[in-house]
């Protein structure tokens, strides 16, 4: 129900593009300089930057159906999380959430470069990672409202929601732990001798406890197929990263360990994809780890919906950041940018782009209705799953 539409859309898009005698993407990029539009300039610089950094602009080789799938995934994250925000504001929400809105380009750009059998380890702000890796929006909503049929049967909730079958080593409420587990998984890949890779996501706040240090050192020493993704949204909970860090470009830290560090615009899904594709290909070929820092911004508060309103994007009036800063970043909306690109590049018509958005909105509404109708867990189930076998005894009677 959540993956069927992108294929159909992209076929349509291809057909229309062919019918319109559309330019190839490569030809289009070559003509951009002459157009002089803002988007064109941004795209041109991305393409140049990609060629300079990686020798090739990987995103230029993405077929239309993949581009459309990326756009669809970004919208899924945006609309699913916006639904969660609205449900929280309505009251009586059976859960908590750390919203990822504004950072969609990172999850989608990275995961598009991965195979299903690659691993990711996620964060407390990880709904987007799960959706980008192919997670089911309905089972996700059931889980974050602690229903018995959710991904984790209501045990885990938002902070621990995962689909192990998609190679997701879990979301994690402990900041930074993901780096260590992904590097460990990368070591396991080396032991098994496959060409998989393992990616960890972490915020700018995830670099200080020893998890990242241990991961980076071992990955560099033994050329592990590990990719550390730093989602630098500028804030560690409510503390500005620049007030507690001596460096601005956090990817530079990787260099001290002997790892290539890349800094990309985290609101440009194709720039993120370029970096990811480069890192993934390198890791698969035995070239070792890469750290990718994506500069981005969190539209909402650290958790919950403080400063937000139903039906309105963004959270304002939060004491630790200015509303102007929020609006500046919202103007760099990664989804609007990508939509503009897809339409300019004739991958999608305006109508097609709108239709995708409407379809995703409908799927999100269906997910919410599904979650709402699901049963709550049985109380005594809390005593199960402590060990593989049996249940532990109750101790309050």
* Out of 146, 282, 337, 339, the residue judged to bind another protein by CB under 8 A: 146
Site membership for another protein, residue 314 (CB under 8 A): no
**Closest to 108 measured CA to CA, from 347, 326, 294, 242:** 294
Exposure of 44 by Cβ count < 10 A (0-12 exposed, 13-18 middle, 19+ buried)? middle
Site membership for another protein, residue 91 (CB under 8 A): no
Q: Please say which residue, 23 or 148, places its beta carbon nearer to another protein.
A: 148
Q: Give the number of residues written for the chain.
A: 397
User: In whole angstroms, how far apart are CA 321 and each of 204, 267, 296, 314, 330?
Assistant: 16, 19, 15, 12, 14
Laid out side by side, the sheet with 290-295 consists of: 119-121, 198-203, 226-232, 290-295, 260-265
* Out of 156, 261, 288, 334, the residue judged to bind another protein by CB under 8 A: 156
**318 touches 301 (CB < 8 A):** yes
What are the E-state strand segments in the chain? 119-121, 198-203, 226-232, 235-236, 239-240, 260-265, 290-295
Site membership for another protein, residue 386 (CB under 8 A): yes
Q: Please say which residue, 111 or 159, places its beta carbon nearer to another protein.
A: 159
* Out of 52, 55, 351, 380, the residue judged to bind another protein by CB under 8 A: 380
Site membership for another protein, residue 228 (CB under 8 A): no
Site membership for another protein, residue 393 (CB under 8 A): yes
Site membership for another protein, residue 317 (CB under 8 A): no
* Out of 12, 53, 208, 217, the residue judged to bind another protein by CB under 8 A: 208
**Least distance to another protein, CB of residue 21, Å:** 54
**Least distance to another protein, CB of residue 311, Å:** 24
Q: Please say which residue, 75 or 161, places its beta carbon nearer to another protein.
A: 161
* Out of 109, 126, 157, 228, the residue judged to bind another protein by CB under 8 A: 157
How far apart are the C-alpha atoms of 54 and 56, rounded to whole Å? Answer: 5
Contact segment (CB under 8 A) with another protein among 147-155, 264-272, 339-347, 358-366 equals 147-155
Q: Give residues with Cβ within 8 angstroms of 7, minimum separation 6.
A: 65
Site residues for another protein per CB under 8 A: 94-96, 146-148, 152, 154-160, 172-176, 205-210, 236-239, 241, 243-245, 376-383, 386, 392-397
């Amino acid at each position: 129900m959540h993956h069927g539409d992108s294929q159909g859309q992209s076929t349509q898009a291809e057909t229309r593009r062919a019918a319109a005698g559309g330019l190839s993407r490569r030809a289009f990029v070559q003509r951009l300089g002459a157009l002089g539009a803002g988007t064109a300039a941004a795209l041109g610089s991305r393409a140049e930057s990609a060629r300079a950094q990686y020798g090739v602009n990987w995103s230029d080789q993405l077929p239309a159906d993949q581009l459309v799938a990326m756009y669809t995934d970004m919208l899924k994250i945006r609309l699913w999380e916006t639904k969660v925000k609205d449900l929280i504001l309505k009251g009586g929400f059976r859960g908590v959430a750390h919203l990822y809105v504004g950072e969609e380009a990172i999850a989608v750009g990275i995961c598009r470069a991965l195979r299903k059998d690659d691993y990711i380890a996620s964060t407390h702000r990880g709904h987007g990672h799960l959706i980008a890796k192919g997670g089911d929006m309905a089972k996700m909503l059931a889980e974050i409202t602690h229903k018995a049929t959710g991904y984790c049967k209501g045990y885990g909730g938002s902070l621990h929601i995962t689909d192990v079958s998609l190679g997701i080593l879990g979301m994690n409420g402990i900041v930074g732990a993901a780096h260590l587990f992904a590097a460990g998984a990368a070591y396991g890949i080396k032991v098994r001798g496959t060409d998989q890779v393992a990616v960890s996501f972490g915020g700018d706040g995830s670099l200080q406890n020893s998890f990242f240090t241990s991961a980076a050192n071992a990955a560099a020493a033994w050329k592990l197929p590990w990719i550390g993704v730093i989602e630098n949204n500028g804030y560690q909970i409510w503390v500005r990263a620049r007030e507690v860090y001596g460096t601005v470009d956090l990817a530079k830290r990787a260099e001290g360990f002997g790892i290539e560090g890349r800094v990309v615009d985290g609101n440009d899904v194709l720039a993120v994809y370029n970096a990811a594709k480069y890192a993934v290909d390198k890791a698969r070929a035995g070239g070792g780890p890469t750290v990718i820092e994506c500069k981005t911004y969190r539209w909402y508060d650290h958790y919950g919906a403080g400063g937000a309103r139903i039906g309105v994007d963004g959270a304002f009036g939060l004491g630790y950041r200015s509303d102007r800063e929020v609006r500046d970043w919202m103007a760099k909306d990664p989804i609007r940018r990508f939509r503009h690109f897809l339409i300019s590049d004739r991958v999608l018509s305006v109508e097609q782009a709108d239709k995708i958005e409407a379809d995703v909105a409908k799927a999100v509404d269906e997910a919410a209705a599904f979650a709402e109708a699901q049963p709550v867990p049985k109380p005594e189930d809390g005593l199960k799953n402590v060990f593989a076998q049996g249940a532990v005894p109750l101790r309050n009677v």
